[in-house]
Amino acid sequence: MVKSSRFASRIGLSPIAALDEKVRALTLEGREIVNFGVGQPDFPTPEAIGEAGIEAIRNGMTRYTSPMGSFEMREAVAEKLRTENRLEYAASEILISSGSKQALHCILAAVLSPGEEVILPTPAWASYPAIIRLLGGEPCFVETRLEDRFKLTPEKLKKSLSPRVTGLLINSPCNPTGAVYSPEELRALAAVIKDAGLWVVADEIYERIVFGSSRHTSLPAVEPELRDKTAIVSGVSKSFSMTGWRIGYAAGPSEWIRTASSIQSHQAGSACSISQEAARYALVSSGDDAANMRAAFERRRDITLELLCGVEGLELLRPEGTFYAFPRVSSFLGPRDPGVCLSTDEDLAGWLLDEAAVATVPGTAFAAPGHLRISYAVSDDLLTKGLKSLRRALVKLGPVLQQ
């Protein structure tokens, strides 16, 4: 048998993809599962965006683009960054990739050397440690807790520094917690980042899905001095319900982007030309569809809070953005009579799948055991049905009695 490479053997299948497989198998057996594991909007791609893709095919835009992405798409991203994020980037400082996942991979490959460590506040999206490890780096996990509103503080950041740490990966709005950093919080972190000389990758893929008075802020917009050491990563997957089109981007210092684009030129070559044109249209169009989707996610966030708050033992913070809730469920874990033992969040998620026919992602997948991630990117009806079932099951189970 051929042995996996040293770096490849350090990662496994994404736990979310593994959950999807399981739900698909149960559905094939005829079970009706409400899937709260999904990481994508349930809406179709807005029609006009789809039409822009079809038009691109009709117009013969079906050839390789520059490895950096089409000039028109990079210009559209630059304009978007200027008007929405208060950031000035030239087209030469922007890379278009096959999804923000590939942008993250190329950017990290451009800056991270084997053996170096990257600070990763947890809970964190499962692909971050995998990408870092594939590149021979090491994630330096820094735990944030519900009591900190799941946000990295300057004190915690300072404590986690070491000579091996070269960079920080930060995600706001955050998958899985829904936390959104305020300008003040970013400014306080920026002071430590500057002193320590760290580079930063800021994943802003959920930037348009923020609720109430929360606003998305980009780190270099509050601390321009960090512009030369920061790459912003975002894309159209979540904001415009375009996950299957696979378009994301990175904006950063030109040398960094040039290196990332060389790497990309030897991988995918370039992102899909047709998808780039559809994504360009999404960025320059009115954005009404994106605004309607955002409003639907806010309504569903409220439904989730209403149905889950008050369940004894479940602790839930109000998500400020994304389409995820991340309750702490540790009080349900441990031995109980008669003979049932749900020791881990994975056991509890498995039990909920059997007992309540709902699929949730265990917090362990985000390096945050004792939690569950619930995606509310499902219709209002399914959301209500699934949450009522989940609530019934948890109330019946009850927290483990402390001895």
Q: What is the binding site for ligand PLP (CB under 6 A)?
A: 39, 99-101, 125, 171, 175, 203, 205, 235, 237, 243, 248
DSSP characters for 329-342? -GGG-EEETTTEEE
Rounded least distance, CB 398 to ligand PLP, Å: 32
33/96 with CB nearer ligand PLP: 96
Rounded least distance, CB 124 to ligand PLP, Å: 8
101/280 with CB nearer ligand PLP: 101
> How many Cβ atoms from other residues are within 10 Å of residue 35's Cβ?
22
Rounded least distance, CB 95 to ligand PLP, Å: 13
248/332 with CB nearer ligand PLP: 248
C-alpha distance from residue 288 to each of 55, 75, 173, 241, 293 (Å): 21, 21, 21, 13, 9
Rounded to whole angstroms, the Cα distance separating 145 from 127 reads 20
Residue 238, beta-bridge partner list? none
Q: Which residue, chain included where needed, has tokens 């079932």? A: 389
97/273 with CB nearer ligand PLP: 97
Rounded least distance, CB 49 to ligand PLP, Å: 15
Rounded to whole angstroms, the Cα distance separating 256 from 89 reads 13
Rounded to whole angstroms, the Cα distance separating 141 from 118 reads 8
Rounded to whole angstroms, the Cα distance separating 214 from 112 reads 32
103/333 with CB nearer ligand PLP: 103
At 372, is the secondary structure helix, strand, or coil?
strand
Cβ pair 221, 86 in contact under 8 A: yes
Rounded least distance, CB 248 to ligand PLP, Å: 4
20/347 with CB nearer ligand PLP: 20
Q: Which residue, chain included where needed, has tokens 């040293």? A: 6
Orientation of helix 71-85 relative to helix 273-284, angle to 10° = 30
Rounded least distance, CB 203 to ligand PLP, Å: 5
170/311 with CB nearer ligand PLP: 170
Rounded least distance, CB 115 to ligand PLP, Å: 25
Rounded least distance, CB 180 to ligand PLP, Å: 13
105/300 with CB nearer ligand PLP: 105
| Chain residue whose CB lies nearest ligand PLP | 99
Q: Which residue, chain included where needed, has tokens 């051929």? A: 2
At 119, is the secondary structure helix, strand, or coil?
strand
At 36, is the secondary structure helix, strand, or coil?
coil
